[in-house]
Structure 1
Amino acid sequence: MNTLQNAILQAYGWNTYWDTALSHQNENIQRLSPARVVAQFSHSYNIMTESGEHSAIVTGKFEFLAAKRGDYPSVGDWVMVERLPNENRSVIHAVLPRRTAMVRKAAGNVIEDQIIGANLDYLFIVNALNQDFNVRKIERFLVAAWDSGAQPVVLLTKADLCDEPENFARQVENVAPGVPVHFISALLGQGKEALGDYLRAGITIGVTGSSGVGKSTLLNWLAGKPLQEVQGIREADARGRHTTTHRELFLLENGALVMDTPGMRELQLWEAQDGWEHAFADIEELAAQCRYRDCKHDTDQGCAVIEAVNSGALDAKRFSNYKKTARELAHLARKENASSLKTSQKTQRSKPNKSKLRPNKKAYLQED
């Protein structure tokens, strides 16, 4: 099948890039049909195929071979599937290599990654202009966004609640050089025209942020119709309630694809060293001017970073967040290395000891 001839797949973002990616897979995979994951639940998926939307699960072999949580399909992934005979269901055999992916550490003590969204072109980082506005939180999302490979865009929602939204926009611009910042109000219909450059046919946009910042309202506003249920926020602290319970990809009438995600109280970073360096590029440039190469940016003589903080050229709170996220990533790396070593040692112990095998042909054949 020439996938580019299928209007449904094209509408959901299939293009020559994915034709090429598929051509690099083995023949067994190429014989399957491509589909895009449009919704993700605990043990199943909704996928968009050449014949429409199906429910799907992964095969037993896929589940057996998956080494970690991030190996499983996520919303936005292109997967290779087989439709079950006489059913509106499919099984997923493989995930095509992701072009981009926003990843966070899974909740809890487990050291695992969780894919928030795959194959995103843009990532809308949404923050409300009310009591919940937090530039430090935006910095954390920028770290994950830059590491994902998608282009971050900051949207400051509920501009109708703020007398001078430009002041907040400047705060964000100071910590996100080069990142577009827009303030919008769905209530007043303000700011939609500024998003037109992103909302193009075949472009996939992820929407992320805390609960109550207006992600679902934003989606409904951009779509021009109610796609997601919305709720009000708590008046006491402007915190939101979890309305969106799963990640889902929506095709808008203008051809853009927008992914809504559940709100996150706190984004736990995952292996985001590159994104961290990009998000704090201004501090990294200052660090390169320090007298000592291994400067800890604490009390070292000739520290250009501390000098910038003392002079007011660098915001002390931004510098604090820089150090905090650096410690967090280093701690995660140590825990991940320890977990990998423990798993490796456990695997080694579970292997049979060749020296204790009987020296007969049958035993050696079994071991081979």
Structure 2
Amino acid sequence: MNLEHYGWNTDWQQKWLQRDRKQHVPGRIVSDFGQMYRVWTSAGEVWGEVSGKLKHEHQDRSELPAVGDWVEVQVLEQEERVIIHSVLERKTCISRQAAGVATVNEQVIASNVDTLFLVSSLNDDFNVRRMERYLIMAWNSGVTPVILLSKADLCPDAELKVAEMEGAAPGVPVHAISALEDMGRDIVSAYLGEGITVALTGSSGCGKSTIVNWLSEAGVQKTQGIREDDSRGRHTTTHRQLFLLPQGGIMADTPGMRELRLFEDEGGLAQAFSDIEEIGSQCRFADCKHEGEAGCAVREAVEAGVLEERRLSNYHKTQRELKFQAVKEARSRRKADPKGRGSKSGAPRKSSSYWTKQLMDE
């Protein structure tokens, strides 16, 4: 098996050569089953497990291997199994706060992704405000977002929906597609060059697994219908997994999200609401909160119909949540590590912010 087909390139080779790894070989995590992994290596796809040393050094689950990671593995002779000794530094990392009211842990959805397809179906589940949150996650992750509006065959006004979504996603490509009608295949395939990794994310029932099957030209993922009463679906994909596509790219399918609590802000808020940030630069006061101050260019834009009131409202809501969660995180961190000693692995703690729960029920 040629690792270049799975995304290995000169950049990864340079990272690999930074340490003496002569006794080991590179591999890529295909799927994660908790204690065991499926790993692509030059010898084929095998089972893998994390070494005891790696588990001890990185007790934070987010630092252990995730789907898409390049890892250093030891091949066990006469066994179709490898031991994972280290994770190569990630180029990008798509993550959210792990589910659960009391948790403040990072959950890695996929790593080393080049393009993130944000999928929303063109039925009653179409939600612009939800997409704004997915965009924040994408920008924070360092990936390039692309919005796919699926099931266009069910929507008589798909062009209007595309325009509406474009207004909420400045500079982000938006494409209406239909796997059933084979609509938009060439457009989507253009993102799937050899060695390029693309991930799919979205709420349950938005059509991610159907898109994987459509692009792979095979039934590699199970699919289910949606409930007619609310246009929402059940979880079909139960774990994250990479697929090699005939176009040459690699695709990661992920389970539908019932909730999206974003982990850490690395400028994603400003990028997702770049239009508001740009208009705000023209306000009379540099610290304008856009809540009625004199000379507020943002409020003037709303009154003139240039900026949607609901978009500004969501921007304010997200800012408030960020401040609340920042305080909550700081308290949690002080309680867990009162002396500020950092993580057990010796790595410095990240400066992270957590967002309040946004339900995305099936």
TM-score, length-scaled by structure 2: 0.90
Secondary structure of the equivalent of 1:342? helix
**Does the aligned pair in 1 maintain the 2:24–2:75 contact within 8 Å?**
no
**Does the aligned pair in 2 maintain the 1:271–1:333 contact within 8 Å?**
no
Q: Following the alignment from structure 2 to structure 1, what is the Cα–Cα distance between the partners of residues 58 and 98?
A: 16
Q: Deviations over 1:3-40 (max 9, x none)?
A: xxxx431111101010011122x32x454211000101
Q: Following the alignment from structure 1 to structure 2, what is the Cα–Cα distance between the partners of residues 39 and 33?
A: 18
1:9 to 3, 8, 12: 3
Q: Following the alignment from structure 2 to structure 1, what is the Cα–Cα distance between the partners of residues 252 and 78?
A: 30
Which 10-residue stretch deviates more, 186-195 or 293-302?
293-302
Q: Following the alignment from structure 2 to structure 1, what is the Cα–Cα distance between the partners of residues 22 and 282?
A: 52
Q: How many residues are matched?
A: 340
- Give identity over the alignment, percent: 50
Partner of 1:4: none
Deviation, 1:273, is 3.9
Secondary structure of the equivalent of 1:201? coil
Partner of 1:235: 228
Q: Deviations over 1:45-81 (max 9, x none)?
A: 1111111111112111111111522111111110101
Partner of 1:104: 96
Q: CA, structure 1 residues 347+143, in 2 after alignment: closer, same or farther (shift >3 Å)?
A: closer
Secondary structure of the equivalent of 1:208? strand
Partner of 1:221: 214
2:289 to 296, 307, 310: 296
Secondary structure of the equivalent of 1:282? helix
Partner of 1:254: 247
Q: Following the alignment from structure 1 to structure 2, what is the Cα–Cα distance between the partners of residues 230 and 60?
A: 37
Q: Following the alignment from structure 2 to structure 1, what is the Cα–Cα distance between the partners of residues 271 and 131?
A: 14
Secondary structure of the equivalent of 1:345? coil
Letter in 1 for 2:337: S
Letter in 2 for 1:58: V
Q: CA, structure 1 residues 30+267, in 2 after alignment: closer, same or farther (shift >3 Å)?
A: farther
Partner of 2:132: 139
Which 10-residue stretch deviates more, 96-105 or 64-73?
64-73
Are positions 1:125 and 2:118 aligned together?
Answer: yes
Secondary structure of the equivalent of 2:262? coil
Letter in 1 for 2:289: K
Are positions 1:281 and 2:274 aligned together?
Answer: yes
Q: Which has the larger radius of gyration?
A: 1
**Does the aligned pair in 1 maintain the 2:224–2:234 contact within 8 Å?**
yes
Query: What pairs up with 1:17-56 in 2 under 5 angstroms?
Result: 17-24=11-18, 26-27=19-20, 29=21, 31-56=23-48
**Does the aligned pair in 1 maintain the 2:196–2:250 contact within 8 Å?**
yes
- Alignment RMSD (CA, Å): 1.5
Query: What pairs up with 1:53-64 in 2 under 5 angstroms?
Result: 53-64=45-56
Q: Following the alignment from structure 2 to structure 1, what is the Cα–Cα distance between the partners of residues 48 and 79?
A: 11
Deviation, 1:146, is 1.3
Secondary structure of the equivalent of 1:255? coil
Secondary structure of the equivalent of 1:82? strand
Secondary structure of the equivalent of 2:130? helix
TM-score, length-scaled by structure 1: 0.89
Letter in 1 for 2:97: K
Letter in 2 for 1:32: H
Secondary structure of the equivalent of 1:111? coil
Structure 2 residue runs without a partner (length 5+) = 342-362
Q: Following the alignment from structure 1 to structure 2, what is the Cα–Cα distance between the partners of residues 336 and 82?
A: 38
**Does the aligned pair in 1 maintain the 2:334–2:340 contact within 8 Å?**
no
Query: What pairs up with 1:261-340 in 2 under 5 angstroms?
Result: 261-340=254-333
Partner of 1:74: 66
Which 10-residue stretch deviates more, 207-216 or 280-289?
280-289
Q: Deviations over 1:247-288 (max 9, x none)?
A: 000001222101000001222111124111111111111222
**Does the aligned pair in 1 maintain the 2:92–2:142 contact within 8 Å?**
yes
Q: Following the alignment from structure 2 to structure 1, what is the Cα–Cα distance between the partners of residues 158 and 322?
A: 33
